[in-house]
């Protein structure tokens, strides 16, 4: 499908005075970034695969571009519809596996198509790309190894989505594009609280309660994206978390106590495959080492390089208003 750019603002002076931002994947995170940019007076364009989503974006003042970035059939025809003089590009596309596309290739292909399209713009290349990766790219700690990870820690993803993200990081690093890669911890916020459903229903959870959970509130992540998309490029890679890792036992207990729900329960033992708890099959359980997936994500470099103050510096401050709204 050939992407179509909607009619730009009426006056040439308006276009020249307003920074233009492009978002690829205007979903849970991207939409919040778009609202920040719009509130600052920026012009915001967003690429989406869905015509219905395009209509919704347009109602919010976002200029939609309907395009599946894995489709390169339009490349020879699209140069005249390419946006020019972009201030920044945010790539916040889901890492979920896609049919018929190997995980290692999915985002690499999309980024290459995007770069080729934007290189046809009559103006300059985008000032800066921001790619939303994941802390899932880190290798699991072994034995008594320190659980803290940062930008220098070894990578070694095993899940398809994390493999997709790491290969995209490598593609950007090998390119000439000015970019910043963000590796966010678990993103939570309105209508997205990890494991709230099994907690509500009193189901046993197939997690190690002593392992650590790393979180970042979606609104704080949006502010981080806005901050690194402009100004001096201090670094090309940042871990994004609130910096206050919490053991899952404490996190789930806080939710249960706040909501007046039964105390959390957990699948016993380290071998969780096919576990039976009170006669109920536990879904999605897999065998794991105790250290597997158990990390503590440092945000030190991010806070040293950028003047960012989190609105929700830990899980308690972030969850309190969310749980109060849920209770209502």
For 286-322, the pLDDT digits (tens) are 344 444 568 999 999 999 999 899 999 999 999 999 9
Helix (H, G, I), strand (E, B) or coil at 212: strand
For residues 244-273, average pLDDT: 87
Q: How far apart are CA 143 and CA 125, in angstroms?
A: 46
- Cα–Cα distance for residue pair 165/60, rounded to 1 Å: 29
Q: Mean pLDDT throughout 199-221?
A: 94
Rg of the chain (C-alpha set):
21
CA distances to 18, 250, 275, 320 from 325, rounded to whole Å, are 36, 21, 34, 9
Residue 122 vs residue 4, higher pLDDT? 122
Distance between first and last Cα of the chain = 44
Q: How far apart are CA 173 and CA 299, in angstroms?
A: 21
DSSP single-letter state for residue 79: G
Res 84 pLDDT > 80: no
Average pLDDT score over residue span 148-154: 95
Q: Are 162 and 137 in contact (CB under 8 A)?
A: yes
Per-residue CA distances from 98 to 3, 160, 171 (Å) = 21, 10, 19
CB-based burial label for 247 (10 Å; 0-12, 13-18, 19+): middle
Which CATH architecture fits 12-188+215-253+293-318? 3-Layer(aba) Sandwich (3.40)
SS (H, E, C) 97-108: CECCECHHHHHH
> Any idea where the domains of the chain sit in the sequence?
12-188+215-253+293-318
3-state secondary structure of 150: coil
Show the tokens assigned to 17.
């005075």
**Least confident interval from 96-100, 105-109, 175-179:** 96-100
Give the chain's mean pLDDT: 86
Q: Quick one: pLDDT at residue 100? A: 87
pLDDT at 287: 42
Tell me the pTM: 0.88
Alpha-carbon separation of residue 107 from 85, 94, 185, 221 (angstroms): 24, 9, 19, 21
Please tell me the predicted confidence (pLDDT) of residue 193: 94
DSSP 49: S
């Amino acid at each position: 499908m050939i992407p179509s750019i909607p009619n730009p603002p009426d006056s040439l002076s308006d276009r020249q005075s307003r920074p233009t931002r492009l978002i690829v994947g205007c979903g849970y995170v991207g939409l919040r970034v778009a609202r920040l940019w719009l509130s600052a007076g920026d012009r915001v364009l967003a690429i989406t695969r869905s015509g219905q989503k395009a209509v919704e974006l347009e109602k919010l003042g976002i200029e939609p571009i309907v395009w599946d970035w894995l489709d390169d059939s339009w490349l020879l025809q699209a140069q005249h519809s390419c946006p020019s003089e972009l201030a920044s590009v945010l790539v916040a596309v889901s890492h979920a596996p896609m049919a018929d596309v190997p995980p290692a290739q999915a985002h690499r292909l999309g980024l290459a198509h995007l770069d080729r399209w934007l290189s046809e713009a009559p103006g300059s290349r985008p000032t800066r790309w921001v790619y939303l990766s994941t802390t899932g790219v880190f290798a699991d700690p072994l034995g008594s190894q320190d659980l803290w990870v940062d930008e220098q820690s070894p990578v070694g993803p095993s899940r398809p989505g994390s493999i997709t993200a790491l290969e995209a990081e490598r593609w950007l690093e090998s390119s000439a594009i000015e970019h910043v890669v963000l590796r966010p911890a678990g993103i939570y916020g309105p209508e997205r609280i990890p494991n709230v459903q099994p907690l509500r229903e009193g189901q046993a959870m197939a997690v190690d309660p002593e392992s650590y959970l790393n979180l970042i509130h979606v609104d704080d992540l949006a502010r981080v994206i806005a901050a690194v998309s402009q100004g001096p490029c201090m670094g090309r890679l940042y871990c994004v978390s609130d910096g206050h890792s919490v053991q899952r036992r404490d996190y789930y207990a806080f939710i249960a106590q706040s909501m007046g729900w039964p105390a959390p329960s957990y699948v016993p033992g380290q071998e969780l495959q096919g576990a039976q708890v009170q006669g109920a099959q536990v879904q999605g359980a897999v065998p794991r080492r105790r250290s597997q997936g158990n990390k503590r994500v440092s945000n030190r470099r991010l806070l040293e390089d950028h003047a960012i103050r989190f609105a929700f510096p830990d899980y308690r401050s972030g969850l309190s208003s969310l749980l109060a709204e849920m209770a209502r």
